[in-house]
Amino acid sequence: MRLTVRISATGCYVDTINPLVRGTAVRLRILTETHMFEAPATVVYAHTHLGMGLKFGAVPPNSQNVLQNWLPAVA
């Protein structure tokens, strides 16, 4: 399933027509041609027919490195 995702250091927003219920635990996996990010997350809010906000749990070190490379450098 392809989704649009906006990501930050602590979580992400996933555009989806059928968001999950607030409080649902998920395992998030984001793949690109060269990298994979995977971490546990929890749905913190949902907008019916629009999407949901996820808060990351403990991000494994390899995924943390991928995330840091994806995010813009902090000035």
Beta bridge partners of 15: 4, 51
Asked if residue 66 belongs to a domain, the reply is no
Domain count, the chain: 1
Asked if residue 13 belongs to a domain, the reply is yes
Per-residue pLDDT at 2: 62
Q: Are 43 and 20 in contact (CB under 8 A)?
A: yes
Asked if residue 68 belongs to a domain, the reply is no
Asked if residue 72 belongs to a domain, the reply is no
DSSP H/E element including 31: strand 25-31
Residue 30's domain comprises 4-60
Give the CA angle between residues 71, 40, 73 to the nearest 5°: 10
Per-residue pLDDT at 21: 96
Higher per-residue pLDDT: 5 or 7? 7
The two three-digit tokens of residue 21, written as one number: 């219920």
Asked if residue 73 belongs to a domain, the reply is no
Asked if residue 67 belongs to a domain, the reply is no
Per-residue pLDDT at 52: 95
- List, for residues 17-74, the tens digit of each pLDDT value: 999 999 999 999 998 889 999 999 999 999 999 999 999 999 999 999 999 998 875 4
Asked if residue 12 belongs to a domain, the reply is yes
Asked if residue 52 belongs to a domain, the reply is yes
Beta bridge partners of 47: 51
